[in-house]
Amino acid sequence: MTADRWAQMVRHQVGLGRLLPLGGPDDGAWIAEGAAGAVLGRAAADGAPGVRLGALRIAPADPEDVREPVVPAPPSALPPGELRVTADFAMTADLAVTADLAVTADLAVTGGESVPAAASRLRRVLATAATDRLGLAVAEIDLRLTDLLEADEPAPAAVPVPQPPPAREPTDPDEIAVTAAALAVPGVVRLTGSLGGLGRAVHIEERREGTALPRRHVRVEVATGTDHRAVDVARSVRAAARDALRDRPTVAVLVTAVG
């Protein structure tokens, strides 16, 4: 592997962010934090006018309160459990400031809306998108106001979301079978090759897991469309990949992009 190819692979893997549990422990699915954040950012832009979402982070709500997934997780993936979304935001504000009046954030208004009300509106938008568009088990959303904007201040140019590299064409017969099965699932836009290098979307390995007989495990990496909930697509990919192989292996799915 060339130095440029290695550097590109590292950039893509870093761009994924944390691998978050998608659904619950029985779903065997994960989503890249970058992909989830992009969906939440689009939802905020569409559903919360006058509010601008800033830096966003998704992490376990309680690192001690997690469960063991039913299938082996992707490398470094977080175990299933409830999540906390932490985000900065800015809002437009019309403020009357005098020399002897200290205006606090709670007194700021945008179109007659207080900061707590705007934060509550943004929180609802993010919670709905996390549940209805993705399937994340979000228990808490913590928001912090970081800036007040002029009403006519132009929005900054959208930062393009890094797209995971497309998967290379498989040559192994079992990888070909799983690839075809995954691509046939409604909501799958393409297969990607970010995790594990070499541009592979389908990873097949044997695991003993403390038993006398080895059992194969498959990991499939996909990009999903915005017209299907990500966790539902992942569940269907798991079933399709399992049924595509005669030994019906365990399957984990990683969603690397949405849209």
User: What digits encode the pLDDT tens for the residues 138-161?
Assistant: 999 999 999 888 767 666 656 566
User: For strand 215-224 and strand 250-258, is the pairing parallel, antiparallel, or unpaired?
Assistant: parallel
Whether 5 shows a pLDDT value over 70: the answer reads no
- Asked whether residue 134 falls in the same domain as residue 37, the answer is yes
Residues 43 and 129 in one domain: yes
Domain membership flag for residue 108: yes
Q: Are residue 93 and residue 126 in the same domain, yes or no?
A: yes
Phi, then psi, of 181 in degrees rounded to 5: -65, -40
249, part of any domain: yes
How far apart, in Å, are the Cα atoms of 29 and each of 37, 124, 135, 137, 165? 17, 24, 10, 12, 20
For residues 110 and 150, is the Cβ–Cβ distance under 8 A? Answer: no
The whole domain housing 211 covers: 173-258
Are 104 and 194 members of one domain? Answer: no
pLDDT at 110 over 50: no
Task: Determine the pLDDT at residue 101.
Answer: 33
pLDDT at position 117, please?
A: 85
Residues paired with residue 149 on neighbouring β-strands, in sequence order? 92
> How many CA atoms lie less than 13 Å away from 43 in the CB half-sphere?
23
241 is a domain residue: yes
pLDDT of residue 221: 97
pLDDT at 156: 65
Do 135 and 212 belong together in one domain?
Answer: no
Same domain, 134 and 202: no
* Per-residue pLDDT tens digits for 245-258: 999 999 999 999 99
Question: Which one is predicted more confidently, 196 or 135?
Answer: 135
pTM comes to: 0.85
Do residues 217 and 250 lie in contact, with contact meaning Cβ atoms separated by under 8 Å?
A: yes
Check whether 114 has a pLDDT greater than 50.
yes
133 and 237 co-located in one domain? no
Q: Mark whether 134 and 240 lie in a shared domain.
A: no
Do residues 142 and 209 share a domain? Answer: no
* Confidence class for position 196, pLDDT limits 50, 70, 90: low
Same domain flag for 106 and 209:
no
Q: What is the pLDDT of residue 10?
A: 43
Domain-embedded: residue 25? no
Same domain assignment for residues 43 and 130: yes
233 assigned to some structural domain: yes
pLDDT above 90 covers a percentage of the chain that reads: 66
Is residue 15 in a domain?
no
Structure tokens at 217: 């495990």
> Which CATH number characterizes residue 245's domain?
3.30.70.1350
List CB contacts of 30: < 8 A, sequence separation 6 or more.
19, 20, 21, 22, 73, 74, 77, 78, 252, 253, 254, 255
Same domain, 115 and 187: no
Number of domains in the chain: 2
Q: Enter the tokens of residue 228.
A: 């299907």
Residue 109 phi, psi dihedral angles, 5° rounding: -135, 150
What's residue 231's pLDDT? 98
The verdict on residue 139 lying in a domain is: yes
**Digit-coded pLDDT (tens) for 12-34:** 455 589 999 999 999 999 999 99
As a whole-number percent, the residues of the chain with pLDDT over 70 amount to 79
**Which of the pair, 100 or 58, is modelled with greater confidence?**
58
pLDDT the model gives residue 192:
96
pLDDT surpasses 50 at 105: no
Residue 201, in any domain of the structure = yes
CA distances from 87 to 40, 58, 68, 215, 248 (A): 10, 9, 28, 41, 41
